[in-house]
Structure 1
């Protein structure tokens, strides 16, 4: 019981209503939604809109724009972190489901992963070859598949595993860089899956824009956070504080080792094909498409989509801080968060519509206007739809399909009993 999974919302009634029975046979009491979680997810959605539509640099000064500094890489990290939080909520909340109920949860999540992947591939089919946005939906399916074995674990174990994957996944990616096939398109399609499944799988796991191997850190940390009592003021404050400390610590490691202790010189000497300006561009804008594998010093830079340990911990810290801040705001001013929280409750629908609108390629001439249309339209639609129908249209279809599979597992278990 609790919040929906990010991108794949599961509607639930308000506090005090009775839901399905648990393993004990007693009815489960479903709590009201945490507005702060939905609002944080809504901010991540707006952040993705801004990265896809607004310019990354000022055309006159060539300085990095504020929205790029705030959201590049971190909006996706926040999405993935909140996906983990949602997985925790939908698999028992503070106490993970056990036995057949957890098995049913895993089957439901497997169905969701497959459906989201197919949806992402279908959207990619209509995107141009040089896409205006890199679709995260296909990667989302892989995120969920990798998370399935970890859903039963307690928070402490999940936090430890998140720390391990934050380091080992980037090291593994660098080690395999010369072995894995390079991705051929930014957004994999159904055609690519059928003709070259190995390259697509490699892209989804290691070489793509949102590779699932390092992003598993966000999922595991999110599930761990979702196992905490997020309605507690003490937990919310600690989440904000710990997130800020983690983000600051990650940035300081980069600043000391790369900018002060000779790490930048090591990058230049080990990668003679890159100038100082080109290395600066990777740190600011991210790699295209992957980091060089010429030196382990590359794993200490924090650039967007570099997926280094520093970048992951920086994104994890900033995401936790954002979630903590919105949970605190939601305690007293939840109504003011309605545009964000409504949009955050149906991000699968809104993100899909956003990508399909971008495929028309009409947003480049007046980016600010089109950003306002996308963000404002999403908020207005979400508020109106939520008040009229509750769950978003794609979220509802996904929930019913996955719920049917979950129900089959529980029904078969009762028949066996």
Structure 2
């Protein structure tokens, strides 16, 4: 009987698709470096702007800034940090709120609830950090507690579009300085000026009632398509116009200052009414707020416009901005632990270089700063609300 020939193995089909190859995972140091220069989803321009604001506040706290600005004298340009650095920090608080609340997408339903919970928990934790710094008795005027209030005050505005936030922010800046003067005068008559709540809201170095206008401006920037260069140019132009108006309008009003303030003199007692027309930083006037908001817009716009070309140069400053709460707390501890630190003429250089190096090394190893990691973990855990309906409903 004839036997069958053994079956020959068939050749592999030439048209068969090749087996998928697992993508190679980049080394962790490469991933950290890519994130530092803005390739990991972060907007490095915002981190650079926040880092510059933090370093500017260091300059104010160490007393190295000049207190009289002249365009033709570069040695006086440090005066730009006075009032503007902290204002930029407050504007960037609004940008952060808008990012948490969905950027250009207006949240609703469960996402809105989650955003509100995250922002409220962050505000509470930041306020606690600021309270601890103040309780330790540093010589600084700490902005952290006021910064937390800006977060909490933003909750009713989370569903506004960018143009509504911009209009509200401008109106807030124009009106609230006058409202603050009237409120302080009324509370002074009621002997309530010295309470902690009044200090945070009205009489402190960063009064929340007026400074919240910065946060509304920042929310408008964060809600707009700030990744587009046309929007960045609009932000830049708006900042330049605001700076010009804040400095030129008081000059135009100077001849009629007494006439403008005549109606206030019999109504408000014990208040420096001239400060209502003063454009200098921390005067609390409309022109102070408008000019500082303009400086913040210019800084943010320039950082966004140049982030693609300068990210490899500025990533150490971006590292500071990406962990600004940790950097600010660290600098407060330096003032607490080192006696007479601000008396050293090189204190700002030493502090800035130390913080920049420390933040850069930390971010090269880990994705977040220690305080930022705690804020993110706790706020995300508390806002983990399920969007699914209960079973059987």
TM-score range, shorter chain: 0.7 to 0.9
2:341 aligned residue: 363
Structure 1: distance between partners of 2:193 and 2:177: 23
Counterpart contact for 2:83–2:282, Cα < 8 Å: yes
Structure 1: distance between partners of 2:351 and 2:260: 43
1:175 aligns to 2:182 (yes or no): yes
What is the aligned-residue RMSD (CA, Å)?
3.1
Q: CA deviation at 1:198?
A: 7.8
CA 292–41 in structure 1, closer or farther in 2 if over 3 Å, else same: farther
1:389 aligns to 2:366 (yes or no): yes
SS of the residue corresponding to residue 134 of structure 1 reads coil
Structure 1: distance between partners of 2:65 and 2:99: 35
SS of the residue corresponding to residue 341 of structure 2 reads coil
SS of the residue corresponding to residue 205 of structure 2 reads coil
2:386 aligned residue: 411
Deviation digits for residues 316-347 of structure 1 (CA, Å, limit 9, x no counterpart): 11100111111111022211111211110000
CA 404–238 in structure 1, closer or farther in 2 if over 3 Å, else same: same
1:39 to 37, 42, 48: 48
1:301 aligned residue: 278
Q: CA deviation at 1:370?
A: 1.7
SS of the residue corresponding to residue 390 of structure 1 reads coil
1:74 aligns to 2:84 (yes or no): yes
2:165 aligned residue: 158
Number of equivalent positions = 349
Structure 1 regions of 5+ residues with no counterpart?
A: 1-10, 15-29, 185-195, 272-290
Structure 2: distance between partners of 1:375 and 1:255: 36
Deviation digits for residues 239-285 of structure 1 (CA, Å, limit 9, x no counterpart): 11221111111111112212xx24279889x99xxxxxxxxxxxxxx
Higher mean C-alpha displacement, 330-339 vs 41-50:
330-339
1:328 to 286, 300, 305: 305
1:337 aligned residue: 314
CA 233–57 in structure 1, closer or farther in 2 if over 3 Å, else same: closer
1:142 aligned residue: 149
Q: CA deviation at 1:145?
A: 1.1
Structure 2 regions of 5+ residues with no counterpart?
A: 1-31, 68-72
1:203 aligned residue: 199
Structure 1: distance between partners of 2:102 and 2:260: 48
Counterpart contact for 1:343–1:383, Cα < 8 Å: yes
Superposed counterparts of 1:198-277, under 5 Å:
199-258=195-254, 261-263=255-257
Superposed counterparts of 1:80-119, under 5 Å:
80-119=90-129
Counterpart contact for 2:335–2:342, Cα < 8 Å: no
TM (norm. structure 2) is 0.81
Structure 1: distance between partners of 2:130 and 2:48: 24
Counterpart contact for 1:73–1:305, Cα < 8 Å: yes
Counterpart contact for 2:61–2:342, Cα < 8 Å: no
Deviation digits for residues 133-157 of structure 1 (CA, Å, limit 9, x no counterpart): 2000111111111111101110111
Structure 1: distance between partners of 2:151 and 2:186: 25
Structure 2: distance between partners of 1:57 and 1:242: 27
Structure 1: distance between partners of 2:163 and 2:368: 32
SS of the residue corresponding to residue 209 of structure 1 reads coil
Structure 2: distance between partners of 1:67 and 1:93: 34
Q: CA deviation at 1:203?
A: 0.9
Deviation digits for residues 69-92 of structure 1 (CA, Å, limit 9, x no counterpart): 211111111001011111111111
Q: CA deviation at 1:354?
A: 0.6
TM (norm. structure 1) is 0.77
